[in-house]
Amino acid sequence: MKWSTDGQQEEGELDTQGAGVHEVGEAGKTRKTAQCPVTSTTAITWLVLTTGGRGIMQACSRGGATVQPSSAISKLPKPAFEKLVQAKPGPWLPLTLVLVYKLMQAVKQTGLDTIVLNGAAPDNAHAVLGKVGLAPNTGVGNLANIIPALRQSIAAQLNSLIEDVEVLLFGHNQVAHSLRTSGTPGEAPFHLAVLVNDEDITSNLDLPSLFKTLPATLKHEYTQLLSAASAASIFDAITTRSSRVVHAPGPNGLPGAYPLRAGDNGLEVVLPQGLTLEEAVRINQEGQRLDGIERIEDDGTIYFAEKNMAILKETLGYECLRMPLPEVDERARELRAKYLAFARKYQ
Q: Are residues 271 and 252 in the same domain?
A: yes
pLDDT at 50: 55
Q: Are residues 152 and 271 in the same domain?
A: yes
How confident is the prediction for the chain on average, in pLDDT? 85
Q: Are residues 45 and 165 in the same domain?
A: no
Write down which residue in 267, 288, 309 finishes a domain: 288
pLDDT > 80? residue 251: yes
- Within a domain: 13: no
How far apart are alpha carbons 333 and 341 in whole angstroms?
12
Q: Which domain holds residue 203?
A: 143-288
- Within a domain: 338: yes
- Within a domain: 11: no
Q: Are 173 and 252 in contact (CB under 8 A)?
A: no
Using pLDDT thresholds of 50, 70 and 90, give the confidence band for residue 5.
very low
Q: Are 121 and 97 in contact (CB under 8 A)?
A: yes
pLDDT at 53: 59
pLDDT at 284: 98
Q: Are residues 202 and 319 in the same domain?
A: no
Using pLDDT thresholds of 50, 70 and 90, give the confidence band for residue 90.
very high
- Within a domain: 7: no
Using pLDDT thresholds of 50, 70 and 90, give the confidence band for residue 48.
low
Write down which residue in 244, 259, 288 finishes a domain: 288
Using pLDDT thresholds of 50, 70 and 90, give the confidence band for residue 182.
very high
Q: Are residues 160 and 278 in the same domain?
A: yes
**CA proximity to 120, closest of 180, 174, 69, 183:** 69
pLDDT digits (tens, 9 = 90+) for 117-135: 999 899 999 999 999 999 9
Q: Are residues 211 and 320 in the same domain?
A: no
Using pLDDT thresholds of 50, 70 and 90, give the confidence band for residue 47.
low
Q: Are residues 175 and 220 in the same domain?
A: yes
**Model pTM?**
0.85
CATH, residue 253: 3.90.110.10
- Within a domain: 28: yes
Structural domain count, the chain: 2
Q: Are residues 133 and 171 in the same domain?
A: no
**CA proximity to 245, closest of 148, 119, 116:** 148
Write down which residue in 242, 272, 288 finishes a domain: 288
Using pLDDT thresholds of 50, 70 and 90, give the confidence band for residue 69.
confident
pLDDT > 80? residue 268: yes
